[in-house]
């Protein structure tokens, strides 16, 4: 499965991905990660800064799903894949250069790269779109809602 142009643009604009994993007891876990980058059309990843639980879960079971949402349009993606963890000093950790270009000094805190091979990409949207609401209407609505919260 490949990340198309629209998916790549969404992740670039809203790099906060909510990563779903399963812990050692078989319980679901979701954790937000804010350092996502699309590395190529079949791989995305995030930099582990302080994600010991997520990394431990992925080492035991590399299957994961990541949700990315445009909070104003209320549309997004579900990206399912298999994670591979690359620690500092390991071959492939040099891919951090992409993180450094985007995240600057924050990249110095990355201890591992979590690289996800994309297996499936599915769209997400909110139910008002089923009723004919347009993106322009949704954008206006959520701009107003966020303006009330953060005047």
The 10s digit of each residue's pLDDT in 80-92 is 999 999 988 888 7
What pLDDT, on the 0 to 100 scale, is given for residue 96? 65
The CATH superfamily assigned to 5-126 is Electron Transport, Fmn-binding Protein; Chain A (2.30.110.10)
| Closest to 114 in 3D by CA, of 75, 57, 73 | 57
- Residue 19's nearest CA partner among 74, 85, 73 is 85
Predicted confidence (pLDDT) per residue in 102-128, tens digit: 888 888 888 899 999 999 999 999 999
- List the domain boundaries for the chain: 5-126
For residue 63, what are its two tokens? 């299957």
Which tokens in the block code for residue 120? 């499936």
């Amino acid at each position: 499965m490949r990340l198309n142009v629209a998916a790549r643009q969404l992740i670039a604009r809203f790099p906060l991905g909510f990563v779903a994993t399963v812990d050692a007891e078989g319980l679901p876990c979701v954790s937000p990660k804010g350092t996502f980058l699309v590395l190529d059309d079949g791989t995305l990843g995030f930099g582990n800064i302080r994600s010991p639980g997520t990394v431990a879960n992925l080492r035991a079971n590399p299957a994961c799903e990541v949700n990315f949402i445009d909070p104003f349009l209320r549309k997004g993606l579900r990206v399912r894949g298999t994670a591979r963890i690359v620690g500092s000093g390991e071959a492939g950790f040099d891919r951090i250069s992409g993180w450094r270009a985007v995240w600057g000094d924050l990249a110095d805190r990355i201890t591992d790269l979590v690289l996800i091979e994309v297996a499936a990409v599915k769209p997400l949207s909110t139910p008002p779109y089923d009723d004919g609401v347009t993106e322009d209407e949704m954008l206006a609505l959520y701009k107003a809602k966020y303006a009330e919260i953060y005047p």
